[in-house]
Each structure stands twice: as structure tokens, then as C-alpha cells.
Amino acid sequence: MAFKPMKTAVIGCGMISDIYLKNLKETYKITELVGCSDIIPERSAKQAEKYGIRQMTNEEIFADPEIEMVVNITYPTAHFEVSRRALEAGKHVYCEKMTTLTVEESTALLELAQSKGLFVGGAADTFLCGATQTARMIIDSGIVGTPVMANALLARSYHHERFNTAPYKRFAFCPGGGIIFDMGSYYLSELVFLLGPIKRVAGFSQIRNPHRTFVNPDSPLYGQPMEVESYNNTTGVLEFESGALGNITMTSESAKGTDTFQIFCTDGTIDLGDPNTYRTSIKIIDKVGKVSEIVTNFGYKGDNFRGLGVADAVYAIRNNRPARCSGELNRHVLEAALGICQSSEDGKYYEMTTRCERPEPFKPGYTERQEMQLEI
């Protein structure tokens, strides 16, 4: 069945915008990319010319009656206000992770969207890749038994010059931009997709070395003080409603380590690799240690399908079904990350106050690139 493409505009033309614009313009036929805006007009002008779309202001996007979907890829500190204004203008909203800074802001957006009959949700959408969809099928089938434990570890450095660019400090050091919120959203979203909602969390979090300087010599702020305002060294423990346990360790204060993401089950282990990519294979380790690799045909190695969650949301709107990258999932994942940090401050378990439904997996059989144009 063919569906009418949804006219879409992107707000925010920074580093991540290129792949969003490319995919919304060229990969997903259900989205019709028509415009983009940015707080720095030169950036939106460059992207508009590159992709043959209109350079617009936020106000022009909000006022255009033909634009139905706004993709909000601004800084975390701007997410709430941009999304709120888009919803009030009658637009559906898909936002980069994390979608707000607080649970209260997420709830306010969900309530506003519901009152207007609109969708609000957002990234991470990498759990929609073929590898994770295959892992979900394996877990649901019982082939590897019952999931009992998850292990997620990411070590990387945010010290590189690109994180200290003009005219302001990199989002990674701003509120909502620390690694547990930036990268943790991929891991937490994938864990909820595979194991279901989280019951409670505990953890330790630090803002290590909060007083720094701009180190990029090309920045006019070079050598000036720069404050780190978000947790950058975090480890947490998760208890899922299903009874499974898990841990998540995130640091941006080290050299790059060996990223780990595994689901341990009673009859085998699933090794999923890096959740920040659209992976095409997983590994299964059986009880005696034999390793088998399962390769999927959903996409090709090296492809970046960022924006797949936008396409799924449009199909969901057109079909009147729940979107997989829902606002409820976004809020639940955000609360888990915030709860780990709160536990560190309070020295207590953090009991989750939100929940979400475990997102539905894709239907079997969508194996080739062109199948992504069909109803999913």
C-alpha cells in the first residue's frame, strides 16, 4: 500500500544534520524534506543548498501549514522549547536524544501532543537495525532461554578539539549532553526494546574535572575557562520488570576502550556490538562457548540509517498505530539515566515512576534496502 509522503522540516543544522537531511531526502520515500533552519543562518543556508530545500527560520517552519513533521536536532538545552512550539503550531515532532532535560518536560510534551492529536517522540532509533531486530526475535523465541543479565560498557574521550568549538562549548559538556545522556540513550533504548521496561536503578555518577579550558586553537575562546555541567563518569545497575538485571557503565574521561553490549540468557549469550550503529550482525555464544555469527540483510555494512525512527513514526501516524520510537520510551529512558545520577546523590535505589510498552519488533521479511520504502 502506498502512503502520501509527509512534508518534513529539520530544525538544527549542526554536525548530525547531514545524515538526517540525506536520509529524509533520499532514503525514506515516506518523508518529503522541504526545509531546514538553524540558529546560525550560514549553516542552514549551506545545508539547504546542498539538499535542494528551502532555508527557513523556525517561525516560517511553524507557520507553514503544509509541513506536518518537525525533526528537532538542536542542542539538548533547546529541545523542549523547540518541540513545544512545534506542537503548539500543530506539527508532529521527532527529537534527537535525549528529547528533554527532565521527566517533567517530557510529560508536558506528551500531554500537549495528546491534547492536539499529535505525535511526539524521538531517538535513539538504532534499535530498529537488523541486528537488534534479530536479537529480539531470538529472545522472544526462547532459543537462548530466559534473559537474566545485561552488560553495557562504553569508554571514549570527549577531550578532542571538535568538542571545544566556537562559538560555544560542545553539547557534550552542557546540561543533558553528558555521556550517560548522549550515548547512554542508545544503550538504554536497546535494553528496553530487548528486555522491557525498567523497575528501579542505582548508581554512581561524577562530573570529573569540571573546570577546563577551550583547547581548540581555532576557537575565539581558546584558552578561556570552560565548565563541564553534565555527568561524564557514570556506572549504574538496572532491575527490569521482567526480573532481569543489568549494568551500564559510561565514561567520556578515558581513551577509547572495548565497547561491550551483551545479553546473558540461561542457554546462551547474545553479543550485539555497538548500539550506536545500524548493525547487520550479532554473535551467539552457546553454553560450551561456541560462537556463531548471524548476519542479516537489513541494510549493508557501513550504512547509516539515522532517521529510520522518523520514517517509522510517519508510517505509524498514517496507520494509526503506536510508533516504535515513542515519547513514552524517550521519557522512560531519560528517567533511567537521571535516576542513576539521583541514586548517586542520594545513596539510595531510585524507583522508576514512568513506564513504557516494549516497542514492537519489525515484521519478518523486510530484508532488502528497497523494503524500507514499504509499510513497516
pLDDT digits (tens, 9 = 90+) for 81-119: 999 999 999 999 999 999 999 999 999 999 999 999 999
- The percent helix, strand, coil of the chain (3-state, each to 5) is 35, 25, 40
Q: What's domain 6-122's architecture?
A: 3-Layer(aba) Sandwich (3.40)
Record the cell numbers describing residue 39, joined without a space.
Answer: 540558529
Strand locations in 115-195, DSSP E?
A: 120-122, 147-155
- pLDDT value, residue 172: 74
Name beta bridge partners: 237: 202, 247
Tell the CATH topology of 127-295.
Dihydrodipicolinate Reductase; domain 2 (3.30.360)
Helix (H) or strand (E) holding 19: helix 17-22
Distance of CA 368 to the CA centre of its chain: 24
Residue by residue, DSSP assigns 47-83 as HHHHHT-EE--HHHHHH-TT--EEEE-S-HHHHHHHH
- Are the C-beta atoms of residues 132 and 195 closer than 8 Å to each other? no
HSE of 56, CA atoms in CB hemisphere, 13 A: 21
Mean pLDDT of the chain: 90
- pLDDT value, residue 94: 98
**Side chain identity at residue 365, one-letter code:** G
Record the cell numbers describing residue 329, joined without a space.
Answer: 520510551
- pLDDT value, residue 1: 55
pLDDT digits (tens, 9 = 90+) for 332-347: 999 999 999 999 999 9
- Are the C-beta atoms of residues 146 and 266 closer than 8 Å to each other? yes
| Distance separating alpha carbons of residues 177 and 172, to the nearest angstrom | 4
Pairing mode, if any, of strands 281-285 and 268-271?
Answer: antiparallel
Q: What contacts 65, CB < 8 A, 6 or more positions away?
A: none
**Band of the pLDDT at 31, cuts 50, 70, 90?**
very high
How is the chain split into domains, by residue range?
Answer: 6-122, 127-295
Look at residue 40 and give its three-state secondary structure.
Answer: coil
- Is the pTM for the entire model greater than 0.95? no
